[in-house]
Amino acid sequence: MKLHILGCYAATPRTLTNPTSQVLDIKGHMFLIDCGEGTQVQLRKNKIKFSRINHIFISHLHGDHFFGLPGLISTFRLLGRDKEMHIYGPKGIKEAITLLLKLGDSWTNFPLIFHELTSKETELIYEDDKVSVETIPLNHRVYTNGFLFKEKLGERKLNTEKVAKHKIDISSYQNIKNGKDVTLDSGQVIPNTELTFDSPKPKTYAYCSDTAYMPEIIPQIKGSDVLYHESTFLDSEEHLSGKTKHATAKEAAAIAKAADVGILILGHYSTRYKSIELFKEEAQTIFQNVELADDGKIFEF
């Protein structure tokens, strides 16, 4: 599982910082999560192939999280895309995007499929044989969801030494990896546990931006390997977090600790502060395993 941070700063783009956007590389998928201004430029800078993006998840309809989407869709059209593109986001996103396409007489030459979200309860919005995606209802000034990405348990790994010892034909390998026992010509049954190793533990990534402090999400994200949680403010500006429905670094750390996550990644920083290191220092007074998102940074798990 690899996470590419394309942008992670709050509000407006600047010459050296970009609003929210990231790509999660998980089980062969390249999921684009939020799409602030400048996302397609950041995709190019980070050498991420546009053609590999087939699913886009938009948390809410504030500009710093989706104003880059119309331009990205237009670029897909210019590049001659013909594959389906699925966009998951709040109700209204279809109207906003299609109006721009209509006014510019720029309808896509590929299927553009919108999955509009309205539920304030957790719901499964994507699933295949490798991964699932659930919404994480959040508390912001407009309807907002985070997203919980879960790997599914993969096939078991062959113990080649044991397979060779029992002279098992290659035609049985896939059944063995699927968890089946093997019956030899002699009638002896070789249990699957002797012929395989456990598959790697599935990983989970929880994305939470933007939101006020919301302990209600803790049961859903409990035990996640990685939590990305907004930390717009430091504790000294807690009075602003309540007004704007954003979180502080300490509040993000409190969520991480209570949810017993593996790693907390902070992001969505207000640019009023002289250094993002201040966010890490503050969060580590509550939860130790803290990382800082930054534009162009890659995390591998």
Residues 77, 148, single domain; the answer is yes
Count of the separate structural domains present in the chain: 2
- Sorting pLDDT into bands at 50, 70 and 90, what band is 155? confident
In this predicted structure, the answer to whether residue 200 has a pLDDT above a threshold of 90 is: no
Residues 123, 11, single domain; the answer is yes
Q: Does 60 show up as a binding residue in the annotation?
A: yes
Query: What's the pLDDT at 266?
Result: 98
Residues 63, 184, single domain; the answer is no
Residue 270 belongs to domain with CATH number: 3.60.15.10
- Amino acid, single-letter form, for residue 34: D
Question: Would you list the DSSP string of 29-89?
Answer: EEEEEEE-TTHHHHHHHTT--GGGEEEEE---S-HHHHTTHHHHHHHHHHTT--S-EEEEE
- Sorting pLDDT into bands at 50, 70 and 90, what band is 173? very high
Residues 276, 174, single domain; the answer is no
Quick check: is 185 catalytic? no
Q: Does 268 show up as a binding residue in the annotation?
A: yes
- Sorting pLDDT into bands at 50, 70 and 90, what band is 199? confident
Residues 150, 163, single domain; the answer is no
Quote the CA–CA distance of 20 and 9 in Å, as a whole number.
6
Query: What's the pLDDT at 113?
Result: 98
Residues 218, 267, single domain; the answer is yes
Residues 228, 166, single domain; the answer is no
From 25, 34, 64, 185, the catalytic residue? 64
- Sorting pLDDT into bands at 50, 70 and 90, what band is 255? very high
Q: Does 65 show up as a binding residue in the annotation?
A: yes
Residues 92, 170, single domain; the answer is no
Q: Does 64 show up as a binding residue in the annotation?
A: yes
- Which one, of 234, 223, 289, 227, lies nearest residue 259 by Cα? 223
pLDDT one-digit tens code per residue, 221-240: 999 999 999 999 999 999 99
pLDDT one-digit tens code per residue, 1-30: 999 999 999 988 988 999 999 999 999 999
CB-based burial of residue 168 (10 Å sphere; 0-12 exposed, 13-18 middle, 19+ buried)?
middle
124 strand-pairing partners = 134
Quote the CA–CA distance of 68 and 34 in Å, as a whole number.
9
pLDDT one-digit tens code per residue, 43-78: 999 999 999 999 999 999 999 999 999 999 999 999
- Amino acid, single-letter form, for residue 138: L
Q: What percent of the chain has pLDDT over 90?
A: 90
**What's the rounded mean pLDDT across residues 183-205?**
91
Residues 255, 277, single domain; the answer is yes
**What's the rounded mean pLDDT across residues 137-157?**
96
Residues 145, 181, single domain; the answer is no
**Structural domain range at position 188:** 157-197
Question: What global pTM score does this model have?
Answer: 0.91
Residues 26, 174, single domain; the answer is no
pLDDT one-digit tens code per residue, 94-115: 999 999 999 999 899 999 999 9
Please, which residues have CB within 8 angstroms of residue 179's CB and are 6 or more apart in sequence?
Answer: 155, 156, 192, 196
Residues 265, 164, single domain; the answer is no
Q: Of 144, 179, 197, which residue sits at a domain end? A: 197
Q: Does 210 show up as a binding residue in the annotation?
A: yes
Integer-rounded Cα Rg, in Å, for the chain is 22
Is the Cβ–Cβ distance between 111 and 82 less than 8 Å? no
